[in-house]
Amino acid sequence: MPKLMLFVDGTWLYRNTPRLGEVYGTRDFHIHYGLLPKALGDEVARQLGIPELDLVRTYLFGSYPANYDLRDEEAVQRQLDFYATLKEEYHYEVETFPIDFRGRRLRREDRLPGDRFEPKEKCVDIALATALLYYAAIPYAYDLALVVVGDRDYRPVLQHVRRMGKRVAIASIQGCCSPEFSDPEDRLRVKDFDLIWLNDLIDRIELKFERHQRECASPLHVGDRKVWTTYHPRKREQFFCEDCRKKFAMEKAAAQETYVAAAPVAENGHTYDSNGAPALATGCTGRVKKVVRERGFGFVQREDGQEYFFHLTDLEVGLNWEALEEGRTVMFDVRREPTGGKAGAASHLHDIAPLERAAGAN
């Protein structure tokens, strides 16, 4: 069975997804990334006239904001959660690169008038091209490469991969695709298949937000825990109902105001968070130092002695807030470093991983 690898320009796809919804007369269209690889693989198999392909792996390349204005915190977190979901739920290989916003808002219309700052995306297209070529050079890694792209910059790499004897398929979006790729005569010799329009696959790749029942994990939830929601938490994420989420967000912000170090200030005077910046640590180990049970937060001390604030909503599945005792060893990510005598901020607290536990036992 021929082996197929998928290479997705995530930045391009995310930016142009609203164009897919226009078929329905709406720009509010979302792709189900769990269904996307198989829908594309089936399409290549159909064009080859074989029942199925061995879909070896899906790579997605994208970027995320770093050093952005704190008011955009929620939007950034959603984006980071999206990448985590691709890895954890759908087993994508995800490569992401930070975009330095220098304290600015994410959207141009939210920035100061006359601010000529232009966020610059780095590495995404080169990373995709490199991976494509790298696996083409590894014997038996793939027979066919399917790229989800629209940008003509990919032309040279597609041509070279074909010269290495690999077959190339291109999937794109109508109106967002270089004419060099969609040329039916393929005068530039970039593909071995008819161009696959995602527009033709929308019925098979649409993410539908279906209502279902879930239990709110909040220890402070009032009333029936079973609530209706369209929200799908990630594997390790605790689910909280709408009411609890709103309440927690306010309580957390209030507690952070008191205990957490101030955010850095940008040249334009805005405060920003360094969340997502590559310098910040992930997978830290530390001990729970203090739990303020009645207010729903606590502090964790890293091995180097630095202290970080956390809220009960920062706990992942497997750590129970009510049973969380001081002195317990946990793992966490750093969202902000401590300064000025105040604590930093931690997130994604989880139980010490089985791998680390095994290493500790030796």
List of residues contacting Zn ion (CB under 5 A): 216, 218, 221, 241, 244
CB of 320 to Zn ion, least distance (A): 16
Question: Measured from the CB atom, is 216 or 346 closer to Zn ion?
Answer: 216
- Contact call for residues 67 and 277 (beta carbons, < 8 A): yes
CB of 249 to Zn ion, least distance (A): 13
Question: Measured from the CB atom, is 231 or 259 closer to Zn ion?
Answer: 231
CB of 215 to Zn ion, least distance (A): 9
Question: Measured from the CB atom, is 188 or 220 closer to Zn ion?
Answer: 220
Give me the DSSP letters along 238-289.
Answer: PP--HHHHHHHHHHHHHHHHHHBPPPPB-TTS-BEE-TT-TTS--SEEEEEE
CB of 294 to Zn ion, least distance (A): 17
103: left (phi over 0), alpha (psi -120 to 50) or beta: left
Give me the DSSP letters along 199-232.
Answer: GGGHHHHBPP---EEEE---TT--S-SEEEE---
- Contact call for residues 64 and 98 (beta carbons, < 8 A): yes
CB of 233 to Zn ion, least distance (A): 13
Q: Where are the alpha helices (DSSP H) in the chain?
A: 10-21, 36-48, 73-90, 124-137, 155-163, 179-182, 202-205, 242-259, 354-361
15: left (phi over 0), alpha (psi -120 to 50) or beta: alpha
Question: Measured from the CB atom, is 223 or 341 closer to Zn ion?
Answer: 223
CB of 223 to Zn ion, least distance (A): 8
Element (H, E) at 171: strand 167-172
d(CA 34, CA 91): 9
Rounded to 10 degrees, the C-alpha dihedral 151/155/157/159 comes to 150
Question: Measured from the CB atom, is 19 or 221 closer to Zn ion?
Answer: 221
DSSP-assigned beta bridge partners for residue 63: 97
Residue type, 22: E
CB of 213 to Zn ion, least distance (A): 13
CB of 227 to Zn ion, least distance (A): 7
CB of 88 to Zn ion, least distance (A): 24
Question: Measured from the CB atom, is 80 or 249 closer to Zn ion?
Answer: 249
Q: What angle do CA 10, 13, 16 make, to 5 degrees?
A: 145
Question: Measured from the CB atom, is 182 or 229 closer to Zn ion?
Answer: 229
Give residue for tokens 């997130």.
Answer: 347
Q: Single out the residue of 271, 250, 257 nearest to residue 105, CA to CA.
A: 271
Question: Measured from the CB atom, is 215 or 326 closer to Zn ion?
Answer: 215
Question: Measured from the CB atom, is 241 or 284 closer to Zn ion?
Answer: 241
